[in-house]
Structure 1
Amino acid sequence: MIDNACIGDVKWQSFTVKYTGDVVADPAPWMHDEYDIWFRDPNEVVWNMLANPEFANNMDLQLFHEYNMTDSTWWWQDFMSGDWAWCQADIITEDQDCLGSTFIPIILGSDKTTVWVATSQNDYYPLYLSIRNIHNSICQAHHNGVVLITFLAMPKTTREYASKDEFHRFWCQLFHSSLSHILKMLKPGMVKPEVMPFGDGHYRCII
């Protein structure tokens, strides 16, 4: 059961969402349904990943450029060597309070895999989180470098209502409002550095 599962010491939590818009005289069934969203606190997940000693020697804590010594060709391999990370660092350093902090890029991803819970006839989209300081080789080999954090509810309805604009809007609103509720837990650490333990035994300010 999802609510009893505990991976990496971060417990699953849930909240319920339902349609709150105008209801017509003969409403579609989905307007009365409730949708359970299951998630784990992404801030705690990031904390666990940073503190994992398995990543201590496979993590970039600073930006870098890597070149071929023979022809000076710029090599891209891990995330922290890319242009985007450097651009974000320039933006972060505009805030004096963030100077000296370790930049922790967070990447979210999903796929077309759906999880079907037979007991309640619910379908879910899984959502995954990774911190991109971890080397690509570790993420590709898993090693908890990519972590499942959310089961996003997929509203269903009958064929009669599936093509209606109201249902399509609700589908999008359900997706975005669910993400907003879950990811707001990361927001404090996006504007003010937080101190977190790392797998090498040191504590660092991160942003």
Structure 2
Amino acid sequence: MPPFADHKELYNTIDTTPLGNVPWDSFKLKYSGEHPMGAVPPWMDQTYEFWFCPAHSLIADMLANTEFNSEFNYTPYWDFSKDSKKQWYENFMSGDWAWMQVICISICPCMKAHAP
């Protein structure tokens, strides 16, 4: 059985989920390249608005939340298959993004000031 009855229930759940202290931010984007001769696709002239929460802030709030204690491993790691030497991605902490945050914070002076 799916966790949500339909998309409306999913969106309602997302909209009512508390986000802690992480504010939403947005930016607008519009195509600025060359337009083709003749009929121009509508998306080339439209402005699109993107909403997001900063990933660093979201992760910092998640890690500070005591409800996650003992629920997942907080340590970023890389996992490779023995046979094909390919990287396995099982969860968030096995991904390249989580790993690179540790590397960058530990070696980049500019990131140390922003570390949680």
Compute the TM-score of the two structures, normalised by the length of structure 1.
Answer: 0.31
- RMSD over aligned CA atoms reads 3.9
- 1:35 maps to which of 42, 48, 52: 48
Structure 1 residue aligned with 2:79, among 54, 74, 84? Answer: 84
| C-alpha distance in 1 between matches for 2:18 and 2:25 | 10
The 5 A counterparts of 1:25-174 are: 25-26=37-38, 27-61=40-74, 84=79, 107=92
The CA deviation at 1:60 is 2.6
Ranges of 4+ aligned residues in structure 1 off by more than 6 Å: none
Q: Pick closer, same or farther for the CA change 1:38–1:6 going to 2, 3 Å.
A: farther
Superposed displacement of residue 190, structure 1: 4.2
- 1-side partners of 2:51 and 2:75: how far apart? 34
**Cα displacement string for residues 97-137 of structure 1 (whole angstroms, at most 9, x for unaligned residues):** xxxxxxxx973xxxxxxxxxxxxxxxxxxxxxxx57xxxxx
Q: Which residue of 1 aligns with 2:32?
A: 20
Identity of counterpart residues, as a percentage? 25
Q: Count residues in correspondence.
A: 82
**Separation (CA, whole Å) in 2 of partners of 1:18 and 1:11:** 24
Structure with the largest fraction of helix: 2
What amino acid is aligned across from residue 192 of structure 1 in structure 2?
I
Maintained 8 Å contact 1:16/1:37 = yes
Gaps of 5+ in 1: 64-79, 86-104, 108-130, 133-182, 197-207
3-state secondary structure, aligned to 1:7: coil
1:58, distance to aligned residue in structure 2 (A): 2.4
Give the counterpart of 2:105 among 189, 192, 195: 192
Supply the distance in 1 between the matched residues of 2:57 and 2:75 (Cα, whole angstroms).
22
Amino acid at match of 1:23: H
TM-score by length of 2: 0.51
